[in-house]
Structure 1
């Protein structure tokens, strides 16, 4: 692939207007200039023919204008629609080829920061109702559902708590197995490592590899990633990890041998944190005081797993975050985490405990894919054709996720610095404000109002879904302004 992230001569975002060059990984670029965003994300895709790459860029710009629409809606039908279907049917158009430029841009961004969290999770894509699609695999537990398992790694800046982009994405198909075959843990451990579903997590860490000198990457995961192989692979790659515990492992402590959960719950609290949490089934979030404790442990390899029983033990820290005094009738909150980050100081312990909260970002990304981009509603004849389309939409989903940060980061910046002049003029008329003094925050409140955000003090910031709905409505207003004016704005976004 030309223009690797290690090439200092490569200028990311080729073809991007000068005032937007530093923002090729920001969601607002897809709003301010869809063509420039598409060029920045896909112009280096190697699809076996330069005409295919050009078509991919054109199609991405079309999809950015209507992320949830079908291909006929996004392209306007006719020749453009047929060209899109031909593109995804071409042999050289694979998921890896479509996504590689975005992966490289994300890797470059993650290499320029001292610390980056790499949040990993598996998402199930259900295509059961698309009965004519070939190449899918079973999902669920023997219920006849068909689809794909998508493994994602989302890079997040822990300082700004902003998503940088996807570092890795891969689709897996479960093999068809007779009912009861390798169903228990002993049976799964008898499989070769590469045939286990747990290998999906390990393969992602291995594919991402080592960070550049002076940079720390921290793999963050939920209980599904609590695997000795994950910790071992992260150690081999020189990366850190912060993962929620699922298994009650054998450990060594300063006092001797113990079990992980028992030891974690025996540690005295070292600090408290106030967090805002929405309990399961609750309508509104509430402020909760949580206790935090932590201590050093050594994880011992699993004796029953032949692949790991001879591996070296792993030194790390265990962190417990819990609610000491839950309200009556509420289940007490508790998280037990393992991390390679040193938590000797209270500051480091608090940072790690709060850092796990960034894992919610990938859940939001999954919503952007499924709701904002309607990934599961796509209809192509084979999974090999679906995958590159899903890859394109996943890059667009990152853009949707980043939208919620537009007004937060530069609220008082003049809207004209971030959006096209015609857009600012139309929004100013909608809000009955002077265009010259309209700020980014005011412009974005107008977008939120169009998307259904009430804008009251207690309503919180505008989320990505209402932001995108508002933007879609604003595009229709812009189209009306363009058609009703004899001169009209040169472009409508």
Structure 2
């Protein structure tokens, strides 16, 4: 059974086939009902578990498509507030113990492997989360491991730091000019290019 809030949140999701969209909503419902559980536990049956893994492995479904419905719902909620906090931060998905996973890179610990995820989340000034407005996921290439000194000589657009600028630009491009956007980031975002862009 699909939760009603999931239907409302993801109603604008377009996966090219109504059956795929319905399956996506079912997966979200299963996982949200038991967020502490593994996929098999949350799915309940082997058939549901296999269908979930097949869905994730489908070449017809892209991560951006899965995010879009939620982002559209977030933008609808944003319209109700004059001031929006746009909170940027980076985290990582550690798949070191999942040796069969492909397409990952090294993390902050060179012995760890996974993906980096930079998200921009909207919230009200009272701290009410409104949802994700932008997200960028990438895998670090092995050729850059141990070359931090060389990286410091590159331009911002060639570095991972560019994600902060892209996040700010994307946020401002989708939120109406009539609303005030306050970008919040940690000290990793303290570099000249971003600070200069934020100046009035």
Partner of 1:205: 168
User: Tell me, what secondary structure is at the counterpart of 2:193?
Assistant: helix
- The one of 178, 181, 187 aligned to 1:217: 181
Say yes or no: does 1:230 pair with 2:194. Answer: yes
Conserved in 1, the CA contact under 8 Å of 2:95 and 2:113?
yes
- Give the drift of 1:178: 5.5
What is the rounded CA distance, in whole Å, between the counterparts of 1:214 and 1:179 in structure 2?
44
Mapped to 1, the partners of 2:157 and 2:59 lie a distance apart of 26
Contact 2:105-2:140 at 8 Å conserved across structures: yes
Write the deviation string for residues 161-191 of structure 1: whole angstroms up to 9, x where unpaired: 211111122212112125543x22xx32433
Question: Equivalences for 1:139-154 in 2 at 5 Å?
Answer: 139-141=107-109, 143-154=110-121
Cα separation, 1, equivalents of 2:59 and 2:197? 33
Give ranges in structure 1 of 5+ residues lacking alignment. 1-32, 235-313, 315-339, 341-493
Which residue of 78, 91, 99 corresponds with 1:110?
78
d(CA) in 2 for partners of 1:178 and 1:79? 42
**Bigger Rg over Cα:** 1
C-alpha separation between the residues in 2 aligned to 1:197 and 1:92? Answer: 28
Q: In the TM superposition, what is the alpha-carbon distance from 1:58 to its structure 2 partner?
A: 1.4
1:380-401 CA distance string (max 9 Å, x none): xxxxxxxxxxxxxxxxxxxxxx
8 Å contact 1:47–1:53 — kept in the other structure?
yes
Matches within 5 A, 1:4-153: 35-141=3-109, 143-153=110-120
Q: Distance in 1 between matches of 2:67 and 2:104?
A: 20
Using the size of structure 2 for normalisation, the TM-score is 0.90
Native 8 Å contact 1:206 1:233 kept in 2: no
Residue 153 (structure 1) shift:
1.2
Q: CA deviation at 1:192?
A: 4.7
Say which SS state the counterpart of residue 92 (structure 1) adopts: coil
Q: What CA deviation, in whole Å up to 9, does each residue of 1:212-238 have, x standing for no partner?
A: 13210110011011122223444xxxx
CA contact (8 A) 1:34 1:65 kept: no
Map Cα deviations across residues 17-47 of structure 1 (whole Å, 9 max, x no partner).
Answer: xxxxxxxxxxxxxxxx961111112232222
Alignment of 1:325-404 (within 5 A): none
* CA contact 2:2–2:26 (8 Å) conserved in 1: no
Per-residue CA deviations over 1:81-114 (Å, capped at 9, x if unaligned) read 2211111111222211111111111122223311
Q: Secondary structure of 1:218's partner? A: strand
Q: Which of structures 1 and 2 has the larger relative contact order (alpha carbons within 8 angstroms, sep 6+)?
A: 2
User: Would you say the 8 A contact 2:86–2:171 is kept in 1?
Assistant: no
Q: RMSD of the TM alignment (CA)?
A: 2.0
- Indicate whether 1:164 and 2:127 are aligned: no
Indicate if the aligned counterparts of 1:43 and 1:54 stay in contact, CA closer than 8 A: no
Gap runs ≥5 in structure 2: none
SS where residue 219 of structure 1 aligns?
Answer: strand
Deviations 1:394-417 (A, max 9, x none): xxxxxxxxxxxxxxxxxxxxxxxx
